[in-house]
Amino acid sequence: MTAGSTTAQLIEKHRPTLDQALEAIRTRAYWSPYPEHPKAYGAEGAVPGSLSAAEGQAAFEALRGKRFELDQPGAQGWTGAEISPYGPELGVEYPHPDVERLLPAMRAAMPEWREAGPEVRAVVCAEILARINARTHEFAHAVMHTSGQAFMMAFQAGGPHAQDRGLEAVAYAYAEQVRTPGAAEWSKPQGKRDPLALSKQFTAVPRGISLLIGCNTFPTWNGYPGLFASLATGNAVLVKPHPRAVLPLALTVRIAREVLNDAGFSPDLVTLAAERDGEGIAKALATRPEIRIIDYTGSTAFGDWLEANARQAQVFTEKAGVNTVVIDSTDDYKGLLSNLAFSLSLYSGQMCTTPQNFLIPREGITTDAGPKSYDEVVTDLAGAVEGLLGDDARANALLGAIVNDQVKERIAAAAQLGEVALASRQVTNPDFPEATVRTPVIVKLDGAKPDAEAAYLSECFGPVAFAVAVDSARDAVELLRRTIREKGAMTVGAYTTSPEVERLVEEACLEECAQLSLNLTGGVYVNQTAAFSDFHGSGGNPAANAVLCDSAFVATRFRTVEVRRPS
């Protein structure tokens, strides 16, 4: 089979999906091409050729304790020391890269990829995502045993939801590249003389090599947007996973290389740079002249370092923020409590979108169940969390495992910061007795006290919530503004029945640039966003300079070169 016929087949196969994705980002209505129910996969599921639950688990187990062959140029020994947050060592070793050989191979692969054009690149990316999707059950285990997410979350957020975000980036990249036509005839009238006439060609050209610096907690969900945005715009992508979450991205790289090769392109358009823990190759890679784009999710400190030092590259960062929920009033107090309890508990609060500060007027709030004092609200929220996580099986299914020791230490330290309204509880996971499983801690703080400020104005990543007493709703909005401006925020939530307070909160979010969820009391949570409809981050406050996904996320990943000649 020639490359030509393969790409034609890929266009036939994936063009309808691409068109639906383009329509979805235009309407922002609900859409997803990748089923989120585990039963959709396997021989009896809706996804053809996909792995069943048992096959996925077997595929994951087959990877363990072995070398992960990639057949990419410039391998220099083997590295890998992943230990599941659930206990087991994965025992997988990955090729350690020789970047002096890897980077030139990647550059050499790019001209043909550029020549292929936006549509072929988009459908090749769609095929990569389709093959990843078919192996969602395998990815679920890989994500679970690197991030510590519970299985169902690893399956959904690490599988179809991550794939959605990848396809969303492909759609944005495609749309942006075809806004300028491939060719144009230009004819300028000159009065009685002949018009000036030129033939113009416009080609989307890549920037260079794109570096993806992966994170520990959401290796695929946070990794796919940058990877696919860069690949779809013609760049080669070097994937540098977090040393503790290599496997999901290594699988991704392997599948991408297979698809590229099948479609007649060099597999070296996507390569892996696995590193030894503590080796810190990201800094060296990030400042190489060949690296022209960087996507990064992680700490503010390293994100700031990249922005300041990787000056030769376009740097897209998602760093840390302090997420706030303003609680002013509600007509569904029970819904408020259960919604927030779930938001706090999901993946032990180890999401960049988990709310941290709950701003509650010290005089209390009005609810459909009567007025509630500050103390009552905090006690009721604590009770809702206890109720949600009272059953250990359910608690394990929601909480997952603590991803590293720093999170565990933060839980302990938080309890020293103020009055503990809800103590963190250890939960035993019968399947993985070595896993650290902890319920959230809720600490009361007085917003007016300067010593409390240091606590609630710092990100405390993990299952830690601060119930901050404020003077009034207006005071809460002022603190919200200040928090977004100084510390950034990935999410903001608010509960109010007052049009006046709602207006103030909205205005604060519009002016300080943060994404707002109002009065969520049902099955949508402030920490969850849906690809094709919700923006993840705003790009306009210190938490992140990038948005998943808008045109700014793709527009600078390529440039348009014009060649003009007389007609």
What value, to the nearest 5°, has the Cα angle with vertex 481 and ends 476 and 483? 90
Q: Which residue lies nearer to its own copies by CB, 128 or 546?
A: 546
Among 1, 48, 278, 311, binds its own copies (CB under 8 A): 311
Taking the C-alpha atoms of 234, 534, 355 and 461 in order, what is their torsion angle to the nearest 10 degrees? Answer: -10
* Most distant CA atoms of the chain, gap in Å: 88
Regarding 179 and contact with its own copies (CB under 8 A), the answer is: yes
Helix (H, G, I), strand (E, B) or coil at 182: coil
Under the criterion CB under 8 A, does residue 192 sit at the interface with its own copies? no
Residues 6+ apart with CB under 8 A from 24: 31, 171, 532, 533
Among 1, 48, 100, 181, binds its own copies (CB under 8 A): 181
Q: What are phi and psi of 383, to 5 degrees?
A: -65, -40
- Of 120 and 460, which CB lies nearer to its own copies in the complex structure? 120
Residue 539 interacting with its own copies (CB under 8 A): yes
Question: Residue 441's closest CA among 478, 402, 474?
Answer: 402
- Residue 152 as a binder of its own copies (CB under 8 A): the answer is no
Considering only residues 361 to 420 of the shown chain, the ones binding its own copies according to CB under 8 A are none
Applying CB under 8 A, among 5, 190, 458, 498 the residue interacting with its own copies is 190
Q: Is 524 in the site for its own copies (CB under 8 A)?
A: yes
Helices (H), 310-404: 333-345, 374-388, 392-399
Site string for its own copies, 109-148 (x = CB under 8 A): --x--x----------------------------------
Out of 170, 384, 509, 548, point to the residue binding its own copies (CB under 8 A): 509
Cβ closest to its own copies, residue 369 vs residue 552: 552
* Beta carbon nearer to its own copies, 323 or 439: 323
- The footprint of its own copies on residues 423-452 (CB under 8 A) is none
Q: Near its own copies by CB under 8 A, which window of 20-28, 56-64, 89-97, 376-384?
A: 20-28
How many residues bind its own copies (CB under 8 A)? The answer is 68
Q: Which residue has the tokens 């500060």?
A: 357
Among 52, 79, 180, 379, interactor with its own copies by CB under 8 A: 180
Determine if 530 is a binding residue for its own copies (CB under 8 A).
yes
Q: Among 70-78, 159-167, 364-372, 559-567, which window interacts with its own copies (CB under 8 A)?
A: 559-567
For residue 106, what are its two tokens? 């990647």
The type of residue at 222 is N
Give the nearest distance from C-beta 480 to its own copies in angstroms: 14
Strand runs (DSSP E) across 245-369, as ranges? 270-272, 291-297, 314-318, 324-327, 357-361
Cα–Cα distance between 64 and 559 in angstroms, integer? Answer: 42
Q: DSSP code of 17?
A: H
Q: Which of 9, 20, 287, 551 binds its own copies (CB under 8 A)?
A: 551
Q: Are 53 and 135 in contact (CB under 8 A)?
A: no
Can residue 301 be called a binding residue for its own copies (CB under 8 A)?
Answer: no
516 binds its own copies (CB under 8 A): yes
Binding track, positions 203-232, relative to its own copies; x by CB under 8 A: x-x-x-------------------------
Nearer to its own copies by Cβ, of 19 and 71: the residue is: 19
CA proximity to 124, closest of 203, 18, 215: 18
Q: Which two tokens stand for residue 98?
A: 């020789």
Minimum gap (Å) between residue 198 Cβ and its own copies: 6
Q: Among 98, 368, 486, 534, which residue sits at the site for its own copies (rule: CB under 8 A)? A: 534
CA 325 vs CA 267, 343, 416: distances in Å: 46, 11, 22
Q: What is the three-state SS of 202-267?
A: EEEEECCEEEEECCCCCCCCCCHHHHHHHHHCCCEEEEECCCCCCHHHHHHHHHHHHHHHHCCCCH
41 and 155 in contact (C-beta within 8 Å)? no
Residues of this chain, 24-83, that bind its own copies according to CB under 8 A: 25-30
Nearer to its own copies, 409 or 511 (CB): 511
DSSP annotation of 389:
T
Interface residue with its own copies among 231, 515, 527, 543 (CB under 8 A) is: 515
127 three-state secondary structure: helix
Residue 200's SS3 state is strand
- Angle, to 10 degrees, between the axis of helix 160-177 and the axis of helix 3-27? 100
Judged by CB under 8 A, the residue of 93, 127, 168, 176 near its own copies is 176
Give whichever of 8 and 196 is closer to its own copies, judged by the CB atom: 196
* Contacts with its own copies, residue ranges (CB under 8 A): 25-30, 111, 114, 175-176, 179-181, 184-190, 196, 198, 200, 202-203, 205, 207, 307-308, 311, 506-507, 509-511, 513-524, 530, 533-535, 538-540, 547, 550-552, 555-556, 559-566
